[in-house]
Amino acid sequence: MSRKKPLQITNGDTPVHTDLPQVDDFDDAHDGDEIGPGLEPLTLRLDDEVIGQRLDKVLSGLLPEFSRSRIQQWIEDGHVTVNGAPAKAKMTMLGDELVEVAPQSVPSDQPYGPEPMALDILHEDKALIVLNKPAGLVVHPAAGNWSGTLLNGLLHHCPALAQVPRAGIVHRLDKDTSGIMVVAKTLAAQTDLVRQLQARSMKRQYLALVWGLPQLSGTINAPMARHPRDRIKMAVSQSMRAKPAVTHYRRLATGEIDRKPVSLIHCRLETGRTHQIRVHLQSLGFPLVGDALYGKHHLVSVFPRQALLAGRLGLLHPSTGKFRQWAAPLPEDIVALLQRAGIDPALAVIPEMSDEPDEVISDDDFDDDY
């Protein structure tokens, strides 16, 4: 949209002139805002160029440093006025209005801080930390979980991680998945580990308890993409946006819960798509026990989380180049679940891995890794 004259914006006591930029019709999917120092109030005098436009659309064009979704939240929370009266996002501008905006900080604008936390560390040296993440612990701060995350605990355990991107975290586990993770203590080690994920020299294997009786072994080669209707979920997909996803599985034991068959499964990934094991097994008709997102909703009460353990991790040590691997012990809740199913927990074993890298099927094999 062209302009005939500039709009005047006042930042505190300092007037700033700006031309109205082209305004897009989409809402931001997330907030990636850069907040100016001080969060000073802003006063804007509109003109006839904005006649007929919604207030939130006008403001997102005038204040590109803030996302449209954040501006809408400020309006809803009463931090925007038009001619001195509380504003509404959908109100239509008539021109010559005086708009006052009081920018608000949000938790994502603040530096992540260290927080005391008991960490189950399996190995630590100058280059890396290998730890056993418990179920219920969020890995990285995000909406709804700005504190109490693994990242906060890592910063307390090793303050030097503040100098490494994402406190050295190179891959994630879902909040309700337990098991092994590796954290780099230096930028060089982090770069090396990320490259290993791409080169397939880092290996991660899992144990899962599923409903049903899958065949003894198999390979699921099914591309995945974001679910077309539920943006929280992933799905097997043949769309143009789908990415390759390959899971090898082997049945270790069978049992019953409430007279319904269950199977203990060992999974080995060739790729690391978000929710890959959960989606792939569900696509065959064998959802994870306790999986509220992809599982059988009438059976969710059987177990309070998805029955999934990141059981073994293998990698080339960034400092020595030698292959190392670690195994996570079975958590108590998984042991109790297996016993309830009549499965001997001693059968839940992932054999040691070879140091040979797996075949690379894509140069973008990991969605859940940083």
Query: Alpha-carbon distance 81 to 227, whole Å?
Result: 39
B/e letters for 99-138, b = 16+ CB within 10 Å, e = fewer, are: bbbebeeeebeeebebeeeebeebeeeebbbbbbbbbebb
Query: Alpha-carbon distance 142 to 64, whole Å?
Result: 22
Q: What is the DSSP string of 39-72?
A: G--EEEE--GGGTT-BHHHHHHHH-TTS-HHHHH
- Which residues are catalytically annotated? 174
Query: Alpha-carbon distance 42 to 13, whole Å?
Result: 9
Tokens of 226: 């974001």
Range list of H helices, 315-366: 332-340
Tokens of 343: 């499965």
DSSP state of 314: E
Query: Alpha-carbon distance 92 to 186, whole Å?
Result: 52
State which amino acid sits at residue 251: R
Task: Single out the residue of 129, 134, 225 nearest to residue 173, CA to CA.
Answer: 134
Q: Under 8 Å CB-to-CB from 227, ≥6 apart: which residues? A: 233, 234, 235
Residue with tokens 């990415």: 243
> Exposed/middle/buried for 66, CB within 10 Å: 0-12, 13-18, 19+?
buried
Q: Is beta strand 246-257 parallel, antiparallel or unpaired with respect to 217-221?
A: antiparallel
- SS3 category, 178: strand
Task: Single out the residue of 322, 366, 368 nearest to residue 195, CA to CA.
Answer: 366
Tokens of 4: 């005939």
Query: Alpha-carbon distance 215 to 196, whole Å?
Result: 31
